[in-house]
Amino acid sequence: MIFRLLIPLFLLFGCGGKKPVPKQYPSWWHQPHQDTNRYIYGLGEGSNQEEAISRALNQIASKITTEVESTYQSKLVVENGEVSKSQSIDIRQSVKKMELDSYKIIQSSNIGGKTFLLLQLDRVITAQNFKRKLKREIELITSNIDNPTNSRIEKIGILVRAKKRLEKIYRESIFIKTLSPKVSDSDIVQTIQRYRKKISHSLSQVEFRVLYGGRYGEVVKKLISEYGFSISQKVGAITIFVNVKKEKLTAMGNYIMKVDISLETRENRKVVAKEQISIGGKSKIDFETAENFAIKEFEERLRDDKIVEKLIGI
Q: How do the domains of the chain map onto residue ranges? A: 39-123, 125-204, 207-312
- Give the mean pLDDT per block of 10 residues along the chain (314 residues): 49 54 81 88 94 93 85 53 52 77 91 93 93 94 87 91 92 87 92 94 92 95 93 89 96 95 92 94 95 96 95 90
CATH fold of the domain at 207-312: Double Stranded RNA Binding Domain (3.30.160)
230, 236 Cβ separation under 8 angstroms: no
What ranges in 180-286 are assigned the alpha helix state H? 186-204, 215-226
Dump the DSSP string for 144-172: HHHS--S-HHHHHHHHHHHHHHHHHHHHH
Tell me, what DSSP letter sits at residue 10?
H
Burial class (CB in 10 A: 0-12, 13-18, 19+), 2: exposed
- The dihedral region occupied by 238, where left means phi > 0, alpha psi between -120 and 50, and beta the remainder, is beta
Which residues are CB-neighbours of 154 under 8 A, at least 6 positions away? 313
Which H or E element spans position 230?
strand 230-231
Tell me how far apart the alpha carbons of residues 299 and 314 are, in angstroms, rounded to a whole number: 18
According to the model, what pLDDT value does residue 8 have? Answer: 54
Tell me how far apart the alpha carbons of residues 186 and 10 are, in angstroms, rounded to a whole number: 78
Tell me how far apart the alpha carbons of residues 125 and 102 are, in angstroms, rounded to a whole number: 7
Name the E strands within the chain.
Answer: 39-46, 78-79, 82-83, 103-111, 114-122, 207-211, 230-231, 238-251, 254-267, 270-283
- pTM, full prediction: 0.75
According to the model, what pLDDT value does residue 31 have? Answer: 82
The three-state secondary structure class of 177 is helix
According to the model, what pLDDT value does residue 5 have? Answer: 47
According to the model, what pLDDT value does residue 165 have? Answer: 92
Tell me, what DSSP letter sits at residue 104?
E
Tell me how far apart the alpha carbons of residues 221 and 215 are, in angstroms, rounded to a whole number: 10
According to the model, what pLDDT value does residue 142 have? Answer: 94
According to the model, what pLDDT value does residue 102 have? Answer: 87
What is the rounded end-to-end Cα distance, in angstroms, of the chain?
A: 95
Tell me how far apart the alpha carbons of residues 128 and 135 are, in angstroms, rounded to a whole number: 11
Residues forming a β-bridge with 65: none
According to the model, what pLDDT value does residue 235 have? Answer: 83
Strand-strand pairing, 82-83 and 39-46 = unpaired
Tell me how far apart the alpha carbons of residues 160 and 273 are, in angstroms, rounded to a whole number: 17
According to the model, what pLDDT value does residue 300 have? Answer: 96
Tell me how far apart the alpha carbons of residues 191 and 171 are, in angstroms, rounded to a whole number: 14
Tell me, what DSSP letter sits at residue 56?
H
According to the model, what pLDDT value does residue 35 have? Answer: 92
CATH among 3.10.28.20, 3.30.1600.10, 1.10.1790.20, 3.20.20.70 for 39-123: 3.10.28.20
According to the model, what pLDDT value does residue 172 have? Answer: 87
